[in-house]
Amino acid sequence: MKYRLLSIALTATALLLNTSLSFSVENKAESVQQPAGKTKAAAPDATSKTGAKHKAAAKIKLVDINSAKREQLKKLPGIGNAEADSIIAHRPYGSKAWLVSHNVIPMDKYPAIKDLVIAKQPFKDAEQNAALYAPKTAPKPTAAPKQ
């Protein structure tokens, strides 16, 4: 009984120590480190650069692979007429990763477009979307009664 209680206490202590260390590492990585010779005036400049990157990323208009027209798809890097037609023919997509997992485009072209595309879902209800993406099976033929 004492051994079990001691092992539970040691495990809890180890988990707490590990958690606190991971939080301190995350906080240290997030804080801006400045060299000793730099003044604090350089800090706003660094934050403005990261802010500019976020603004530039926000200006990129994502292409919805579930509703984009052929011309919009052809503007993506590495996507030509054949790939655009293939993307349109295999709609709807549950996620942009389906482009590769369902062999719509080759894996070597996906990294170039993965940050530029999105697969918007038509319904807010997950069950309706799941029904939309369910595999379509042909009805089973009924056997004619024997005479």
CATH code for the domain of 94: 1.10.150
- Please check whether residue 108 is in contact with residue 71, taking contact to mean a CB–CB distance below 8 angstroms: no
Is 73 inside a domain boundary? yes
Pick the more confident residue, 10 or 22: 10
DSSP the chain: -HHHHHHHHHHHHHHHHHHHHHHHHHHHHHSPP--TT--TTHHHHHHHHHHHHHHHHHHSPPEETTT--HHHHHTSTT--HHHHHHHHHT---SSTTHHHHTTSS-TTTHHHHTTTEE---S-SSHHHHHHHHSPP-PPPPPPPPP-
pLDDT in tens, 40-61: 554 455 555 556 555 555 567 8
The verdict on residue 96 lying in a domain is: yes
pLDDT at 101 over 90: yes
Q: What percentage of the chain has pLDDT greater than the value 90?
A: 37
Among residues 132, 120, 124, the alpha carbon closest in space to that of 64 is found at 120
Rg, the chain, Cα only: 27
Name the domain count of the chain: 1
CA distance 80 to 39: 51
Measure CA 11 to chain center: 34
Instruction: Give the distance from CA 30 to its chain's centroid.
Output: 23
- Is 145 a domain residue? no
Rounded to the nearest angstrom, the gap between the alpha carbon of residue 129 and the centroid of all alpha carbons in its chain is: 18
Which tokens hold the place of 19?
């958690």
Q: Is residue 117 pLDDT above 90, yes or no?
A: yes
Query: Would you say residue 138 lies in a domain?
Result: no
For residue 79, the enclosing domain spans 63-132
